[in-house]
Amino acid sequence: MRTPIIAGNWKMNKTAVEAAAFISQIRDGLNAVSGVDIAVCPPAIAIPAVAEAVKGTKIGVGAQNMYFEESGAFTGELAPNMITPFCQYVILGHSERRAYFGETDEGVNKKIKAALAHGLTPMVCVGESLEQNEAGETHSFVSGQVKAAFAGLTADQAAACVIAYEPIWAIGTGRTATVEQAGSIIGGTVRATIAEILGDDVAQQIRIQYGGSVNEKNIAELMAHPDIDGALVGGASLKPTFVDLVANAA
Ligand code: PGA
């Protein structure tokens, strides 16, 4: 049985003070929900404040990015051991990082290995653009992203990861993929590719989230699909109604 996981990706929103105040608003509500793993992923500078604010609850903390080197001349980056005192998760390869900050499949693969070596759970993002979707390239593109991300990983390492399938055209647009679309790519492409490269056992163990305009109204329908193991939530994780979203997911 795969425990679903709902993660809030706050992106570049909320100062450390705002983040801690928001956690005090939502923490009891989130902590009361059972049957689903929960994580919030604040901007890096707010991570310590959020980690402090969730102490004693079941709410996990994730970083939105991380570098794969241990230390050195990498201005502006965070090493794995800088986030591990506060985080259990790290989002890697988000489409915004790929599009605006030049993240490559190869870099994502190195980051996954570094995260796992430090005991972090990577939440690995994949997903196609609108053009690729309309050109019928979704399956081959997303399958290629999964293969590149998981290259060289053992079955056990892969099983410890979470994958977020986030079609780029659904992110922040209010245009959610239908349950059929999301479920068929998650099952027929993402899980099937993991089975192809790492075997059926891993494919059945690994948790695969959907992401893209998920909200408190559409989450239950998405979660009803047997292949969808939770969600990576952007905009709807910034409001107190995130508690309803998580409750409706459980
Ligand atoms: P959204 O973002 O829920 O605002 O569409 C999802 C994400 O990018 O992780």
Give the number of C-alpha atoms closer than 13 A to the C-alpha of residue 246, restricted to the C-beta side.
28
Q: Read off the pLDDT of residues 30-48 as tens digits, 9 standing for 90 and up.
A: 999 999 999 999 999 999 9
Residue 139 appears among annotated catalytic residues: no
Q: Which of 51, 7, 49 has its CA nearest to residue 30? A: 7
The protein residue whose alpha carbon is closest to atom 9 in ligand 1 is 234
The band of 143, judged by pLDDT with boundaries at 50, 70 and 90, is very high
pLDDT for 215 = 97
CA distances in angstroms from 9 to 14, 151, 201, 213, listed in the order given: 11, 25, 29, 12
- Cα of 174 vs centre of ligand 1, distance in Å, is 9
- How far, in Å, from the CA of 82 to the mean position of ligand 1? 25
**What does the pLDDT read at residue 1?**
81
For residues 18-40, average pLDDT: 98
Longest dimension (CA), the chain: 48
> Which two three-digit tokens encode residue 12?
């570049």
Task: Read off the pLDDT of residues 158-216 as tens digits, 9 standing for 90 and up.
Answer: 999 999 999 999 998 888 889 999 999 999 999 999 999 999 999 999 999 999 999 99
Range of the domain at 245: 5-249
pLDDT of residue 177: 87
Cβ neighbours of 64 (radius 10 Å): 22
pLDDT digits (tens, 9 = 90+) for 126-139: 999 999 999 999 99
What sections of the chain are H helices per DSSP? Answer: 16-31, 47-53, 80-83, 95-100, 105-117, 130-134, 138-149, 155-159, 179-185, 192-198, 200-205, 219-223, 242-249
**How many structural domains are present in the chain?**
1
Cα of 171 vs centre of ligand 1, distance in Å, is 5
CATH code for the domain in which residue 81 is found: 3.20.20.70
Q: What is the mean pLDDT of the chain?
A: 97
Q: Is the CB of 216 under 6 A from ligand 1?
A: no
> Which is catalytic among the residues 103, 128, 166, 216?
166
Residue 75, Cβ density class (10 Å: 0-12 exposed, 13-18 middle, ≥19 buried): exposed
- Residue 175 is predicted with a pLDDT of 85
Tell me if residue 134 is catalytic.
Answer: no
